[in-house]
């Protein structure tokens, strides 16, 4: 597949399916792996990085599971292409910098992606729609098993898998869940929830993960500890926490419907009206308005659009996506106009 082939596709994690998909947008499990007796990427020279890439690519070429995947060398991508892959949650900002010897492997359905020579030699990532960590783990565990037969991973019996960052050592696994929590924000309970998350040694981040702030009422919750626990223990701990947050969000939504339904409907329909009629709109305003429309769809207040279409818009209105759709670079003002036009088209506006 070519990079442009992804423009008109909806990643599996955006499809609005799976358990609790009205609140949980996506689940992700990521494994970090390094090749034995080779320096971590931050200590490797150019030749060593290229050698790692060649070794990993050879192993993947011999594995059937990667037959329908595409490898993109980061050094061959322009800035818009790199931002496009970041916006699709397929790679990190860090992976886009210092591109020599780096690559990204993406499966056809965007369920599996592999960053080569990011912070670690390999970052295996699986994403699914809804609360689906068990399925994510099953897939990424299978990929790990296949690659471990072809690659010699750095592993210590007392410490587990060795990683560039000591906090990842052990299982080297991060599980995360993307939650849409507008009612907890509107009822001013979100800070209490996030404080409890932190006390339980979980991390809370924004829509684009580490180093980003929450926008559109989206919060990404993930484990911070990977040593001393099995992968299944980590996953079950995350699921237990997420179910508690889901319950609190559902209660907050019901409270708004019972106690302040006119205000709630007004915010939802104002957002719906602006999105369907605006001719210039920023990405930040769009994300905030889409959040309210998504809530309206989930509560059956808005009936003219499905959740998948709204989920997809959160990605396609981002700067690199707009430029890929248009087939050329756009200024900020041109993007604001193109964004508004795209939204009107998708939502049946004027």
Q: What is the pLDDT of residues 61-78, one digit of tens each?
A: 999 999 999 999 999 999
Percent of the chain with pLDDT over 70: 97
pLDDT of residue 19: 94
Q: What is the pLDDT of residues 54-63, one digit of tens each?
A: 999 999 999 9
| Per-residue pLDDT band at 336 (split at 50, 70, 90) | very high
pLDDT at 145 over 70: yes
- CATH 1.10.287.1080 applies to domain 3-253: no
Q: What is the pLDDT of residues 233-242, one digit of tens each?
A: 999 999 999 9
pLDDT at 210 over 80: no
At 271, list the tokens: 């957002």
Q: What is the pLDDT of residues 282-305, one digit of tens each?
A: 999 999 999 999 999 999 999 988
Mean pLDDT, rounded, for 16-32: 95
Least reliable range by pLDDT among 90-104, 151-165, 204-218? 204-218
| Separation CA 162–CA 155 (nearest Å) | 6
pLDDT of residue 292: 97
Q: Are 6 and 110 in contact (CB under 8 A)?
A: yes
Mean pLDDT, rounded, for 230-249: 96
Look up tokens 């990977």; give the residue. Answer: 226
Q: Are 156 and 163 in contact (CB under 8 A)?
A: no
| Separation CA 32–CA 123 (nearest Å) | 5
Distances (CA, A) of 237 to 34, 179, 240, 280, 333: 26, 16, 5, 44, 45
pLDDT of residue 213: 57
Mean pLDDT, rounded, for 90-99: 94
Q: Are 26 and 14 in contact (CB under 8 A)?
A: yes
pLDDT at 209 over 60: no
pLDDT at 212 over 80: no
- Which DSSP symbol is given to 285? H
Mean pLDDT for the chain overall: 94
Q: What residue ranges do the domains of the chain occupy?
A: 3-253, 260-347
pLDDT at 1 over 70: yes
pLDDT of residue 348: 84
pLDDT of residue 11: 86
| Per-residue pLDDT band at 216 (split at 50, 70, 90) | confident
pLDDT at 181 over 80: yes
Mean pLDDT, rounded, for 219-225: 93
Percent of the chain with pLDDT over 90: 86
Mean pLDDT, rounded, for 190-209: 88
pLDDT of residue 208: 58
pLDDT of residue 62: 94
């Amino acid at each position: 597949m070519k990079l442009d082939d992804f423009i008109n596709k909806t990643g599996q994690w955006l499809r609005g399916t799976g358990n609790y998909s009205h609140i949980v947008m996506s689940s992700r499990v990521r494994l970090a792996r390094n090749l034995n007796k080779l320096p971590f990427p931050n200590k490797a020279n150019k030749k060593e990085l290229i050698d790692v890439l060649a070794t990993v690519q050879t192993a993947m070429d011999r594995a059937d599971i990667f037959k329908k995947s595409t490898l993109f060398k980061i050094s061959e991508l322009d800035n818009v292409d790199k931002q496009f892959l970041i916006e699709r949650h397929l790679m990190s900002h860090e992976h886009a910098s210092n591109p020599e010897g780096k690559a990204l492997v993406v499966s056809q359905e965007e369920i599996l992606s592999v960053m080569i020579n990011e912070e670690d030699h390999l970052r295996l990532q699986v994403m699914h729609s809804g609360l689906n960590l068990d399925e994510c783990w099953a897939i990424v565990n299978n990929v790990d098993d296949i690659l471990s037969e072809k690659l010699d991973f750095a592993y210590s019996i007392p410490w587990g898998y060795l990683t560039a960052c000591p906090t990842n050592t052990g299982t080297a696994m991060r599980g995360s869940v993307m939650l849409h929590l507008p009612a907890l924000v509107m009822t001013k309970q979100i800070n209490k929830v996030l404080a409890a998350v932190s006390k339980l040694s979980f991390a809370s981040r924004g829509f684009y993960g580490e180093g980003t702030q929450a926008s559109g009422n989206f919060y990404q919750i993930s484990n911070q500890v990977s040593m001393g626990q099995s992968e299944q223990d980590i996953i079950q701990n995350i699921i237990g926490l997420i179910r508690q947050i889901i319950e609190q969000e559902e209660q907050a939504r019901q409270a708004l419907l019972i106690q302040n339904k006119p205000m709630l409907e007004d915010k939802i329909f104002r957002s719906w009206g602006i999105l369907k009629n605006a001719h210039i709109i920023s990405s930040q305003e769009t994300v905030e308005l889409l959040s309210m429309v998504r809530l309206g769809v989930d509560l059956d207040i808005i009936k003219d659009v499905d959740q998948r279409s709204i989920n997809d818009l959160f990605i396609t209105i981002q700067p690199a996506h707009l430029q890929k759709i248009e087939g050329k670079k756009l200024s900020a003002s041109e993007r604001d106009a193109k964004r508004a036009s795209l939204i009107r088209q998708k939502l049946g506006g004027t």
